C-alpha cells in the first residue's frame, strides 16, 4: 500500500477530517499495524473541545490491530510469544528505562502516547483513527490470543487496566467487600468488573442514564442509583448510606469526574474505609471538600493515573480466562472511519457506552 486514510483533528470544535497520508517505509526496529478497532475515549472528546490540543492530530489511543510488517529485530512480544505478520496485537511505546519514574517502577515519563501525537510530520500515522499506525523502534507489543475477541482485547485497555492499577495501589478488594462506584461510563464499568474480579460481595453503581445502569446490572451490579432520581449530592449520599446500612461502603471508587463527587465519596466511605479516585482528570481548580472526614473516619485515599505494562498484561489475561460476563455488550456503537464525527456526537449525548471506529471495516 502507498497511501491510507485517517480521521484528523484539525482544531477545537471543528469536525474531524478524513485525510490521506503516505504509508512510509517502516522505521528500523519498528512495526506497521493495520488497525482493526479503536475506541472513542472520553479523553478524545474532551481534547476535541480544547484550543490547547495540538493540531493536526490523529486521535485513538485505545487500539487493537494486526501486524502488517514487523522488523526482523522483533521476534517476540513482551511475554516471549512468537510474533509474525498477521498476528493481532495491543501496543504502546516502550518505556525508556532511564528516567526517574522507570527507576522507581512507575510509568515512564518519556513514553510517547500513540493517539496524542501531532501528525504534521513524518511518519504522520501515530493514532488509531487511521487505517494504519506506524510504531517507532522497540515498541511494546502484546500478542492477542486467537481465542480472544477484538472486543475483549480492546476492553482490557479501556478502564480495566487503569482500575487494576488503582485497586492494586489501594490494597486490593477484600473478599465480600461492599463497593460503591461513582460513575457509569466506561471507567465506572471497568471499576465494576475489577471489583467483582477482586471478590467484592456487592457493587453499587451510581450514574446515568438508565440504559447504562441497565448494562451495569447485566454485568453484575447488585444495585444501581440513577442520579436523575437523586439529583443532589445530599440525596445521593443519603441513598448510599441507606443501601449500606448507614455505615457506608468498604471501598468507594470515584469514576465520574463530577464537581461534587469527591466530597460525596468521602461521605459514602465507612469508618476505616478506602477511597480510590480515578475520575478527577479535568482540572476544575479548587473545589470544596471537607478534609476533616479523612481524619475523623480514618479514610485511606488513593489517586491513580493510567496503568503500567503489567496491568495491561493481567487485564488481557483476565478478559481471556476470568471474566465470564458479557462485557462485549459495552461496545454499543460502531462507525466507519468516515463517520467518526457521528461517534463523537453519540458519546457526548451519552447514547454510546463505548463507541468504536473500524478504520478498515469489519474484520473478516
Q: Is pLDDT above 90 for 286?
A: no
Average pLDDT value over all residues in the chain = 96
pLDDT on residue 288: 87
pLDDT on residue 72: 94
Q: Are 129 and 199 members of one domain?
A: no
Domain presence at residue 117: yes
Percent of the chain with pLDDT over 70: 100
Q: Are 136 and 23 members of one domain?
A: yes
Q: In degrees to the nearest 10, what's the CA dihedral of 121, 282, 305, 274?
A: -170
Domain presence at residue 212: yes
- The burial class, CB within 10 Å (0-12 / 13-18 / 19+), for 255 is buried
Q: Are 331 and 214 members of one domain?
A: no
> Which grid cell is 98?
532511564
pLDDT on residue 176: 98
Domain presence at residue 152: no
Q: Which domain CATH number covers 87?
A: 3.90.180.10
Strand 178-182 to 140-143 pairing: unpaired
Cβ atoms of residues 35 and 340 within 8 Å: no
Domain presence at residue 132: yes
Q: Are 182 and 132 members of one domain?
A: no
Confidence class for position 311, pLDDT limits 50, 70, 90: very high
Backbone angles phi, psi at 99, to 5 degrees: -80, 170
**Max CA separation in the chain (angstroms):** 64
Q: Are 118 and 192 members of one domain?
A: no
pLDDT on residue 203: 98
Average pLDDT of 322-337? Answer: 97
Q: Are 179 and 222 members of one domain?
A: yes
Q: Are 169 and 295 members of one domain?
A: yes
Q: List pLDDT tens digits, range 47-73.
A: 999 999 999 999 999 999 999 999 999
Q: List pLDDT tens digits, range 120-134.
A: 999 999 999 999 999
pLDDT on residue 34: 98
The rounded Cα 178 to chain-centroid distance in angstroms is 23
Q: Which residue's entry shows cell 515512564?
A: 108
pTM of the model: 0.94
CB atoms within 10 A of CB 72: 7
Rounded CA gap, 349 and 364, in Å?
31
pLDDT on residue 202: 98
> Which grid cell is 273?
474505609
Q: Are 209 and 341 members of one domain?
A: no
Q: Which residue's entry shows cell 465507612?
A: 270
Rounded CA gap, 135 and 70, in Å?
9
Q: List pLDDT tens digits, range 219-247.
A: 999 999 999 999 999 999 999 999 999 99
Q: Total structural domains in the chain? A: 2
Q: Is pLDDT above 90 for 281?
A: no
CB atoms within 10 A of CB 234: 12
Average pLDDT of 143-152? Answer: 98
* Dihedral sign computed on CA atoms, order 350, 40, 319, 97: negative
Which residues span the domain enclosing 353? 3-144+326-358
Average pLDDT of 36-49? Answer: 95
Q: Which domain CATH number covers 275?
A: 3.40.50.720
Rounded CA gap, 266 and 299, in Å?
8
Domain presence at residue 308: no
Q: Which residue's entry shows cell 477511597?
A: 275
The rounded Cα 145 to chain-centroid distance in angstroms is 20
Domain presence at residue 314: no
Higher-confidence position of 219 and 280: 219
Q: Which residue's entry shows cell 513514553?
A: 111
Backbone angles phi, psi at 278, to 5 degrees: -125, -25
Domain presence at residue 149: no
Confidence class for position 285, pLDDT limits 50, 70, 90: confident
Domain presence at residue 321: no
Percent of the chain with pLDDT over 90: 92
Q: How many residues does the chain have?
A: 364
Q: Are 171 and 283 members of one domain?
A: yes
Q: List pLDDT tens digits, range 246-271.
A: 999 999 999 999 999 999 999 999 99
DSSP string covering 184-252: -SHHHHHHHHHHHHTT-SEEEEEES-HHHHHHHHHTT-SEEEETTTS-SHHHHHHHHHHHTTTS-EEEE
Average pLDDT of 196-201? Answer: 98
Cβ atoms of residues 107 and 152 within 8 Å: no
Confidence class for position 338, pLDDT limits 50, 70, 90: very high
Q: Are 125 and 33 members of one domain?
A: yes
Cα-based distances in Å from 64 to 36, 222, 311, 352: 6, 31, 16, 19
Q: Is pLDDT above 90 for 364?
A: no
Q: Are 135 and 189 members of one domain?
A: no
Q: Are 71 and 106 members of one domain?
A: yes
Amino acid at each position: 500500500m502507498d497511501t491510507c486514510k485517517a480521521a484528523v483533528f484539525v482544531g477545537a470544535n471543528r469536525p474531524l477530517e478524513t485525510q490521506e497520508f503516505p504509508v512510509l517505509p517502516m522505521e528500523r526496529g519498528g512495526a506497521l499495524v493495520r488497525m482493526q478497532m479503536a475506541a472513542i475515549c472520553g479523553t478524545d472528546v474532551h481534547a476535541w473541545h480544547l484550543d490547547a490540543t495540538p493540531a493536526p492530530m490523529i486521535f485513538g489511543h485505545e487500539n487493537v490491530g494486526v501486524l502488517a510488517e514487523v522488523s526482523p529485530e522483533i521476534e517476540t512480544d513482551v511475554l516471549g510469544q512468537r510474533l509474525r505478520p498477521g498476528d493481532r496485537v495491543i501496543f504502546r511505546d516502550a518505556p525508556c528505562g532511564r528516567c526517574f519514574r522507570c527507576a522507581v517502577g512507575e510509568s515512564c515519563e518519556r513514553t510517547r502516547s500513540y493517539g496524542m501525537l501531532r501528525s504534521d510530520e513524518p511518519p504522520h500515522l501515530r493514532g488509531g483513527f487511521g487505517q494504519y499506525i506506524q510504531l517507532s523502534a522497540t515498541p511494546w507489543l502484546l500478542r492477542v490470543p486467537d481465542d480472544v475477541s477484538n472486543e475483549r482485547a480492546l476492553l482490557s485497555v479501556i478502564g480495566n487496566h487503569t482500575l487494576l492499577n488503582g485497586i492494586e495501589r489501594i490494597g486490593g478488594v477484600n473478599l465480600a467487600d461492599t463497593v460503591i462506584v461513582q460513575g457509569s461510563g466506561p471507567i465506572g464499568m471497568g471499576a465494576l468488573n475489577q471489583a467483582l474480579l477482586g471478590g467484592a460481595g456487592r457493587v453499587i453503581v451510581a450514574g446515568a442514564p438508565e440504559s447504562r445502569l441497565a448494562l451495569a446490572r447485566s454485568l453484575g451490579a447488585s444495585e444501581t442509583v440513577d442520579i436523575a432520581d437523586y439529583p443532589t449530592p445530599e440525596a445521593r449520599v443519603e441513598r448510599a448510606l441507606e443501601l449500606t446500612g448507614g455505615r457506608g461502603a468498604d471501598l468507594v471508587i470515584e469514576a465520574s469526574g463530577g464537581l461534587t463527587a469527591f466530597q460525596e465519596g468521602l461521605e459514602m466511605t465507612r469508618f476505616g474505609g478506602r477511597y480510590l479516585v480515578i475520575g478527577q482528570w479535568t482540572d476544575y481548580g479548587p473545589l470544596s471538600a471537607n478534609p476533616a472526614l479523612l481524619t475523623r473516619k480514618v479514610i485511606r485515599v488513593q489517586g491513580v493515573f493510567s496503568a503500567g505494562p503489567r496491568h495491561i498484561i493481567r487485564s488481557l489475561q483476565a478478559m481471556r480466562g476470568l471474566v465470564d460476563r458479557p462485557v462485549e455488550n459495552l461496545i454499543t456503537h460502531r462507525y466507519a472511519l468516515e463517520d467518526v464525527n457521528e461517534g463523537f456526537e453519540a458519546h457526548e449525548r451519552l447514547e454510546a457506552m463505548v463507541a468504536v471506529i473500524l478504520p478498515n471495516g469489519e474484520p473478516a
